[in-house]
Amino acid sequence: MESETSDLRVDVTDRVATLTLNRPEKLNALSEAMIDGAIAALQRCATDPDVGCVVVTGAGRGFCAGGDVSAMAGGGGAPKTFEAHVDRQRAGHELSRLLYEMPKVTIAAVNGAAAGAGLGVALSCDLVLASERARFATAFARVGFGGDFGTTWQLTRRVGPAKAKELFFLADVIGAEEALRLGLVNRVIAGDDFAGEVAKIATRIAHGPLVSYRYMKENVNLALTSDFRTLLDREAVTHLRCGQTADHREGVAAFLEKREPRFQGR
Protein backbone atom coordinates (compact mmCIF):
# COMPACT_ATOMS: atom_id res chain seq x y z
CA MET A 1 0.00 0.00 0.00
CA GLU A 2 1.60 3.23 -1.14
CA SER A 3 0.99 6.93 -0.51
CA GLU A 4 0.92 9.40 -3.38
CA THR A 5 2.59 12.13 -1.29
CA SER A 6 5.88 12.46 0.55
CA ASP A 7 3.93 14.13 3.39
CA LEU A 8 2.63 10.70 4.44
CA ARG A 9 4.30 7.32 4.71
CA VAL A 10 2.15 4.17 4.64
CA ASP A 11 3.47 0.77 5.62
CA VAL A 12 1.69 -2.55 6.18
CA THR A 13 3.59 -5.11 8.24
CA ASP A 14 2.12 -8.19 9.90
CA ARG A 15 -1.46 -6.96 9.33
CA VAL A 16 -0.74 -3.55 10.91
CA ALA A 17 -1.06 -0.50 8.67
CA THR A 18 1.06 2.39 9.94
CA LEU A 19 0.35 5.89 8.67
CA THR A 20 3.27 8.19 9.49
CA LEU A 21 2.64 11.91 9.21
CA ASN A 22 5.83 12.99 7.48
CA ARG A 23 6.66 16.69 7.77
CA PRO A 24 9.10 16.48 10.69
CA GLU A 25 10.58 19.90 9.98
CA LYS A 26 7.13 21.37 10.78
CA LEU A 27 6.27 18.94 13.59
CA ASN A 28 4.02 17.19 11.04
CA ALA A 29 1.63 20.11 10.65
CA LEU A 30 -1.22 19.06 8.38
CA SER A 31 -0.98 19.79 4.68
CA GLU A 32 -3.71 19.20 2.12
CA ALA A 33 -1.62 16.45 0.54
CA MET A 34 -1.15 14.77 3.92
CA ILE A 35 -4.86 14.93 4.75
CA ASP A 36 -5.94 13.67 1.34
CA GLY A 37 -3.36 10.88 1.41
CA ALA A 38 -4.40 9.77 4.90
CA ILE A 39 -8.08 9.74 3.96
CA ALA A 40 -7.37 7.64 0.87
CA ALA A 41 -5.20 5.23 2.88
CA LEU A 42 -7.85 4.83 5.59
CA GLN A 43 -10.52 4.16 2.98
CA ARG A 44 -8.35 1.36 1.57
CA CYS A 45 -7.55 -0.04 5.00
CA ALA A 46 -11.23 -0.13 5.95
CA THR A 47 -11.92 -2.89 3.42
CA ASP A 48 -8.47 -4.49 3.04
CA PRO A 49 -8.60 -8.05 4.46
CA ASP A 50 -4.84 -7.93 5.01
CA VAL A 51 -5.16 -5.02 7.46
CA GLY A 52 -6.32 -5.80 10.98
CA CYS A 53 -5.30 -2.59 12.77
CA VAL A 54 -4.30 0.97 11.85
CA VAL A 55 -1.66 3.02 13.67
CA VAL A 56 -1.21 6.76 13.15
CA THR A 57 2.05 8.33 14.30
CA GLY A 58 4.42 11.16 13.45
CA ALA A 59 7.92 11.34 12.00
CA GLY A 60 10.66 12.91 14.06
CA ARG A 61 9.97 14.45 17.46
CA GLY A 62 6.31 15.44 16.98
CA PHE A 63 3.00 13.71 16.42
CA CYS A 64 1.11 16.55 14.73
CA ALA A 65 1.23 20.27 15.48
CA GLY A 66 -2.18 20.83 13.88
CA GLY A 67 -2.75 23.19 11.00
CA ASP A 68 0.21 24.77 9.22
CA VAL A 69 0.14 28.31 10.65
CA SER A 70 2.86 29.56 8.30
CA ALA A 71 0.79 28.43 5.31
CA MET A 72 -2.25 30.22 6.76
CA ALA A 73 -0.27 33.45 6.95
CA GLY A 74 1.06 33.06 3.44
CA GLY A 75 -2.29 32.77 1.73
CA GLY A 76 -1.67 32.34 -1.99
CA GLY A 77 -3.60 30.64 -4.72
CA ALA A 78 -6.82 31.78 -6.32
CA PRO A 79 -9.30 33.47 -3.95
CA LYS A 80 -11.99 31.14 -2.59
CA THR A 81 -15.46 31.86 -1.37
CA PHE A 82 -16.30 31.26 2.27
CA GLU A 83 -18.48 28.34 1.16
CA ALA A 84 -15.57 26.78 -0.73
CA HIS A 85 -13.42 27.00 2.39
CA VAL A 86 -16.18 25.32 4.41
CA ASP A 87 -16.47 22.54 1.83
CA ARG A 88 -12.72 21.96 2.00
CA GLN A 89 -12.73 21.94 5.79
CA ARG A 90 -15.54 19.41 5.87
CA ALA A 91 -13.70 17.21 3.39
CA GLY A 92 -10.61 17.27 5.61
CA HIS A 93 -12.67 16.32 8.65
CA GLU A 94 -13.27 12.98 6.95
CA LEU A 95 -9.87 12.02 8.37
CA SER A 96 -11.17 12.18 11.95
CA ARG A 97 -14.49 10.56 11.04
CA LEU A 98 -12.79 7.58 9.40
CA LEU A 99 -10.49 7.04 12.37
CA TYR A 100 -13.49 7.10 14.68
CA GLU A 101 -15.95 5.08 12.60
CA MET A 102 -14.00 2.72 10.33
CA PRO A 103 -14.51 -0.99 11.11
CA LYS A 104 -10.86 -1.55 12.05
CA VAL A 105 -9.30 -0.64 15.40
CA THR A 106 -7.30 2.60 15.15
CA ILE A 107 -4.41 3.57 17.42
CA ALA A 108 -2.78 6.98 17.83
CA ALA A 109 0.88 6.50 18.73
CA VAL A 110 1.60 9.98 20.08
CA ASN A 111 5.37 10.25 20.04
CA GLY A 112 5.58 14.00 20.67
CA ALA A 113 3.46 17.14 20.50
CA ALA A 114 -0.21 16.72 19.56
CA ALA A 115 -1.81 20.13 19.25
CA GLY A 116 -4.88 21.67 17.65
CA ALA A 117 -6.13 19.52 14.80
CA GLY A 118 -3.40 17.03 15.69
CA LEU A 119 -5.09 16.56 19.06
CA GLY A 120 -8.39 15.98 17.24
CA VAL A 121 -6.80 13.36 15.01
CA ALA A 122 -5.27 11.55 18.00
CA LEU A 123 -8.46 11.56 20.07
CA SER A 124 -10.50 10.27 17.12
CA CYS A 125 -8.58 6.99 17.33
CA ASP A 126 -9.91 4.12 19.42
CA LEU A 127 -6.77 3.93 21.55
CA VAL A 128 -4.28 6.70 22.34
CA LEU A 129 -0.84 5.45 23.37
CA ALA A 130 1.50 8.21 24.50
CA SER A 131 5.24 8.36 24.79
CA GLU A 132 6.40 9.81 28.09
CA ARG A 133 7.67 12.69 25.95
CA ALA A 134 4.23 13.42 24.45
CA ARG A 135 2.61 16.80 24.98
CA PHE A 136 -0.99 17.84 24.34
CA ALA A 137 -2.70 21.19 23.74
CA THR A 138 -5.82 22.53 22.09
CA ALA A 139 -3.80 25.55 20.84
CA PHE A 140 -6.75 27.11 18.97
CA ALA A 141 -7.11 30.11 21.30
CA ARG A 142 -3.51 31.05 20.59
CA VAL A 143 -4.30 31.70 16.92
CA GLY A 144 -7.92 32.82 17.24
CA PHE A 145 -9.63 29.64 16.00
CA GLY A 146 -12.58 27.75 17.47
CA GLY A 147 -11.56 24.09 17.15
CA ASP A 148 -11.78 21.51 14.37
CA PHE A 149 -11.12 17.86 13.44
CA GLY A 150 -13.49 16.71 16.18
CA THR A 151 -11.70 18.27 19.14
CA THR A 152 -14.80 19.76 20.78
CA TRP A 153 -16.77 16.49 20.50
CA GLN A 154 -13.91 14.30 21.70
CA LEU A 155 -12.68 16.49 24.55
CA THR A 156 -16.16 17.05 25.96
CA ARG A 157 -16.81 13.31 26.14
CA ARG A 158 -13.40 12.44 27.54
CA VAL A 159 -12.99 15.09 30.23
CA GLY A 160 -16.44 16.69 30.66
CA PRO A 161 -17.60 20.14 29.55
CA ALA A 162 -16.00 22.17 32.35
CA LYS A 163 -12.50 20.75 31.82
CA ALA A 164 -12.91 20.84 28.05
CA LYS A 165 -13.67 24.57 28.23
CA GLU A 166 -10.61 25.13 30.40
CA LEU A 167 -8.40 23.27 27.93
CA PHE A 168 -9.83 25.29 25.05
CA PHE A 169 -9.85 28.73 26.71
CA LEU A 170 -6.41 28.59 28.35
CA ALA A 171 -4.72 26.37 25.76
CA ASP A 172 -2.20 25.15 28.33
CA VAL A 173 0.24 22.42 27.30
CA ILE A 174 -0.12 19.27 29.40
CA GLY A 175 2.26 16.36 29.71
CA ALA A 176 1.67 12.68 29.15
CA GLU A 177 1.01 11.80 32.79
CA GLU A 178 -1.55 14.58 33.19
CA ALA A 179 -3.18 13.46 29.93
CA LEU A 180 -3.41 9.96 31.38
CA ARG A 181 -4.98 11.26 34.59
CA LEU A 182 -7.57 13.21 32.61
CA GLY A 183 -8.43 10.23 30.41
CA LEU A 184 -7.07 11.66 27.17
CA VAL A 185 -4.73 8.71 26.69
CA ASN A 186 -4.95 5.00 27.46
CA ARG A 187 -1.33 4.36 28.37
CA VAL A 188 1.96 6.19 28.80
CA ILE A 189 4.98 4.24 27.56
CA ALA A 190 8.66 4.93 28.28
CA GLY A 191 10.23 6.76 25.36
CA ASP A 192 12.92 4.20 24.58
CA ASP A 193 10.34 1.37 24.47
CA PHE A 194 7.60 3.32 22.73
CA ALA A 195 7.75 2.06 19.15
CA GLY A 196 8.23 -1.54 20.20
CA GLU A 197 5.39 -1.50 22.73
CA VAL A 198 3.01 0.15 20.25
CA ALA A 199 3.91 -2.53 17.69
CA LYS A 200 3.18 -5.31 20.21
CA ILE A 201 -0.26 -3.91 21.04
CA ALA A 202 -1.15 -3.20 17.42
CA THR A 203 -0.02 -6.66 16.28
CA ARG A 204 -2.01 -8.32 19.05
CA ILE A 205 -5.13 -6.49 17.91
CA ALA A 206 -4.43 -7.08 14.21
CA HIS A 207 -4.39 -10.84 14.84
CA GLY A 208 -7.47 -10.79 17.06
CA PRO A 209 -11.18 -11.48 16.41
CA LEU A 210 -11.74 -8.62 13.97
CA VAL A 211 -15.49 -9.11 13.57
CA SER A 212 -15.89 -8.88 17.34
CA TYR A 213 -13.72 -5.75 17.47
CA ARG A 214 -15.81 -4.15 14.74
CA TYR A 215 -19.05 -4.55 16.66
CA MET A 216 -17.47 -3.66 20.01
CA LYS A 217 -16.29 -0.39 18.44
CA GLU A 218 -19.65 0.37 16.84
CA ASN A 219 -21.58 -0.39 20.02
CA VAL A 220 -19.36 1.66 22.31
CA ASN A 221 -19.61 4.60 19.91
CA LEU A 222 -23.38 4.19 19.74
CA ALA A 223 -23.59 4.09 23.54
CA LEU A 224 -22.55 7.76 23.62
CA THR A 225 -25.73 8.87 21.88
CA SER A 226 -28.40 6.18 22.39
CA ASP A 227 -30.57 4.89 25.22
CA PHE A 228 -30.09 1.61 27.07
CA ARG A 229 -32.91 -0.23 25.28
CA THR A 230 -31.43 0.64 21.89
CA LEU A 231 -28.06 -0.79 22.95
CA LEU A 232 -29.65 -3.94 24.35
CA ASP A 233 -31.49 -4.52 21.09
CA ARG A 234 -28.33 -3.96 19.05
CA GLU A 235 -26.25 -6.21 21.31
CA ALA A 236 -28.72 -9.03 20.75
CA VAL A 237 -27.93 -8.85 17.03
CA THR A 238 -24.18 -8.17 17.12
CA HIS A 239 -23.43 -10.68 19.89
CA LEU A 240 -25.10 -13.48 17.95
CA ARG A 241 -23.47 -12.31 14.70
CA CYS A 242 -20.08 -12.75 16.36
CA GLY A 243 -21.21 -16.19 17.48
CA GLN A 244 -21.44 -17.22 13.82
CA THR A 245 -17.77 -16.48 13.10
CA ALA A 246 -14.91 -18.92 12.70
CA ASP A 247 -13.08 -16.92 15.37
CA HIS A 248 -15.83 -17.65 17.90
CA ARG A 249 -15.55 -21.37 17.18
CA GLU A 250 -11.78 -21.18 17.48
CA GLY A 251 -12.03 -19.27 20.76
CA VAL A 252 -14.33 -21.90 22.25
CA ALA A 253 -12.06 -24.72 21.07
CA ALA A 254 -8.98 -23.00 22.50
CA PHE A 255 -10.73 -22.50 25.83
CA LEU A 256 -11.69 -26.16 26.05
CA GLU A 257 -8.22 -27.28 24.97
CA LYS A 258 -6.53 -24.85 27.39
CA ARG A 259 -4.43 -23.12 24.73
CA GLU A 260 -4.16 -19.68 23.18
CA PRO A 261 -6.65 -19.08 20.33
CA ARG A 262 -5.41 -18.67 16.77
CA PHE A 263 -7.82 -16.15 15.30
CA GLN A 264 -8.15 -15.54 11.57
CA GLY A 265 -10.12 -12.31 11.69
CA ARG A 266 -13.30 -13.83 10.28
- Which residues carry out catalysis? 93, 148
| Residue from 100, 99, 109, 263 nearest 199 by CA | 109
Q: What is the DSSP string of 227-248?
A: -HHHHHHHHHHHHHHHTTSHHH
**Do residues 159 and 174 touch, judged by C-beta distance below 8 A?**
no
What phi, psi does 150 have (nearest 5°)? 85, 10
**Angle at the Cα of 215 from the Cα atoms of 213 and 216, rounded to 5 degrees:** 60
Rounded Cα distance, 214 and 239, in Å: 11
- How many angstroms separate the Cα of 25 from the Cα of each of 3, 30, 60, 63, 213? 19, 12, 8, 12, 36
Report the DSSP pairing between strands 127-131 and 174-175: unpaired
What is the signed CA dihedral for 180, 185, 186, 189, rounded to 10 degrees?
A: -80
Q: Give 121's DSSP letter.
A: H
**Residue 116: Cβ-neighbour burial (10 angstroms; 0-12, 13-18, 19+):** buried
DSSP secondary structure code for residue 142 in this structure: G
Cα separation, 143 vs 176, whole angstroms: 23
